[in-house]
Chains A and B, each alone.
Chain A
Amino acid sequence: ELKVEQNPLFLSMQEGKNYTIYCNYSTTSDRLYWYRQDPGKSLESLFVLLSNGAVKQEGRLMASLDTKARLSTLHITAAVHDLSATYFCAVDRDDKIIFGKGTRLHILP
């Protein structure tokens, strides 16, 4: 059974700091996705990672995938308040897309 675990589940950080969110999954997969959710809203796609070693960057966010370690990271560089949201990773295996519990990110001015 596929399990997807994120950590930390909650992160409070100062503006300007760097931090990393981790996403581990339990079975092999080459397809991993990152999403952002603002309070009361739906999910917005951030990154699509489809191979070992894939790295994608958008602004202050960078995502990577290590399929051998079954690990993806979402790195935040010089955080700004606008990045406050909940971030989810999701893994596709056997036609099911399974989500982690999410990391609630709160960036303090």
Chain B
Amino acid sequence: DGGITQSPKYLFRKEGQNVTLSCEQNLNHDAMYWYRQDPGQGLRLIYYSQIVNDFQKGDIAEGYSVSREKKESFPLTVTSAQKNPTAFYLCASSIWQTMNTEAFFGQGTRLTVV
């Protein structure tokens, strides 16, 4: 079945560690996005990418890094520079350069700093 797969579902990180969240899609979508959601809050854009080997910072990129080496994959690394990484992370993808850019979401990764 086509869709977006995020892994792991739950992730625990010690302070000072980098961790990488996986996002894979088989929808043949060009655009991919990473959002962060804090409890009771909306979604804030971290990074986005329209094509392979290119990506742009969103509104809260500090302390995060991404890569887009393959169309299907857009991993997010939460670095030790991110001071408050505990949050729910959502990956999405959409068709690009078309009228309907409806985003489809993965099931999310819940990251907790211990």
Quick check: A101 and B45 within 8 Å, CB to CB? no
* Interface membership of chain A positions 25-63, coded 1 if the CB is closer than 8 angstroms to chain B and 0 otherwise: 000001101000000011111001010000000000000
Instruction: Tell me the complex Cα distance, A42–B43, Å.
Output: 11
Q: Answer yes or no: B35 CB below 8 A from chain A CBs.
A: yes
Quick check: A88 and B42 within 8 Å, CB to CB? yes
Quick check: B99 and A90 within 8 Å, CB to CB? no
Quick check: B42 and A102 within 8 Å, CB to CB? yes
Instruction: Tell me the complex Cα distance, A50–B31, Å.
Output: 18
* Interface membership of chain A positions 67-109, coded 1 if the CB is closer than 8 angstroms to chain B and 0 otherwise: 0000000000000000000001010100111111110100000
Instruction: Tell me the complex Cα distance, A43–B96, Å.
Output: 20
* Interface membership of chain B positions 69-81, coded 1 if the CB is closer than 8 angstroms to chain A and 0 otherwise: 0000000000000
Quick check: B102 and A45 within 8 Å, CB to CB? yes
Number of interface residues of A (CB under 8 A): 22
Instruction: Tell me the complex Cα distance, A28–B48, Å.
Output: 20
Instruction: Tell me the complex Cα distance, A73–B16, Å.
Output: 44
Q: Give the segment of B18-26, B60-68, B105-113 that binds chain A.
A: B105-113
Instruction: Tell me the complex Cα distance, A104–B35, Å.
Output: 19
Instruction: Tell me the complex Cα distance, A45–B41, Å.
Output: 18
Contact A43:B105 (CB < 8 A) given known A88-B42, A97-B94:
yes
- List the B residue with the shortest CB-CB distance to A104: B40
Quick check: B99 and A50 within 8 Å, CB to CB? yes
- List the B residue with the shortest CB-CB distance to A33: B102
Which residues of the partner chain B approach A99 to less than 8 Å between Cβ atoms?
A: 35, 42-45
* Chain B residues proximal to chain A, CB less than 8 Å: 31, 33, 35, 40-45, 48, 50, 56, 58, 90, 92, 94, 96, 99-108
* Chain A residues proximal to chain B, CB less than 8 Å: 30-31, 33, 41-45, 48, 50, 88, 90, 92, 95-102, 104
